[in-house]
Amino acid sequence: MEAAAGWRCRPGGRLDMSHGFVRHIRRNQIARDAYERAVRQARGRARGRLTPTPPRPRRPDQPVYRPRRPGGAGGDASPGPPPADPRGPRLFCLEYEGDDGRVTAVIVHRGDSAEEVTQRVCARSPLEPALRRALCQRVQDELSKRRGTG
C-alpha cells in the first residue's frame, strides 16, 4: 500500500507524533494536577490556621434542682413543714411600678384586706390619695375574684 500524498506515516504503521498534540495534552494534565494539589494544600492551611479551643456546650448548662435540707445547713431544726402563715395561703403577687421605674412587689394572702395591701405598697412607694383609692379598689376587685366572692 502506498501512502497518500500529504500523509505522514512512518514505516511499521506507527503514528507520527512529531506534531506535538499529545505533548500539549500531557502538559495541560500536569498543570491541572499541580493546580489542584496547590488548591488542596491551601484549603488545608486555611483550616489549620484556626486555634484549637476547648469544646463548648451548645447551650448553657441547665440549672440543677437541689432539694433543701430540713433545718438548713446546721440541721438542728425539726424537719417538719414550714409554719403556715396566719393570713392564709398566698393568692397573688401585686407588683407596682412607680414613676421612677422602681417596682414594688407585695404578696397578697387570703386573709389580707385591700386597705392592708394598699398600706404595704404605700410604705415602700408613696402614692397620692387618688391613686391610693384606685389601688385599693383594684386590690379589692382582685381579692374578691380570687376568693370566689365576686
The closest of 114, 105, 108 to 89, measured between CA atoms, is 108
pLDDT above 70 covers a percentage of the chain that reads: 69
Mean pLDDT of 75-97: 72
Say whether pLDDT at 48 is over 80: no
What is the per-residue pLDDT across 90-145, written as a single tens digit (0 to 9) for each? 888 888 888 888 888 898 888 889 999 999 988 888 889 999 999 999 999 988 88
pLDDT band at 36 (very low <50, low <70, confident <90, very high): very high
Our CA dihedral for 23, 28, 34, 39, rounded to 10 degrees, sits at 180
Q: How buried is residue 69: exposed, middle or buried, by Cβ count under 10 Å (0-12/13-18/19+)?
A: exposed
Lowest mean pLDDT among 8-17, 24-33, 58-67: 8-17
Q: For 13-30, write each residue's pLDDT tens digit.
A: 776 667 777 888 899 999
Distance, in Å, from the CA atom of 70 to the CA atom of 126, rounded to the nearest integer, reads 39
Average pLDDT in the chain: 78
- Give percent of the chain with pLDDT exceeding 90: 21
Q: First and final CA of the chain: distance in angstroms?
A: 121
- Domain ranges in the chain are 17-47, 90-147
More confident residue, 115 or 76: 115
Calculated CA dihedral for residues 107, 108, 111, 112, nearest 10 degrees: 110
Strand spans (E) along the chain: 90-97, 103-109
In the prediction, which pLDDT does 32 show?
97
* Angstrom distances, CA of residue 68 to CA of 62, 72, 84, 112: 18, 7, 18, 29
- Residue 132 makes CB contacts below 8 A (sequence gap 6+) with 118, 122
In this structure, what is the dihedral angle of CA atoms 111, 114, 135, 108, given to the nearest 10 degrees? -10
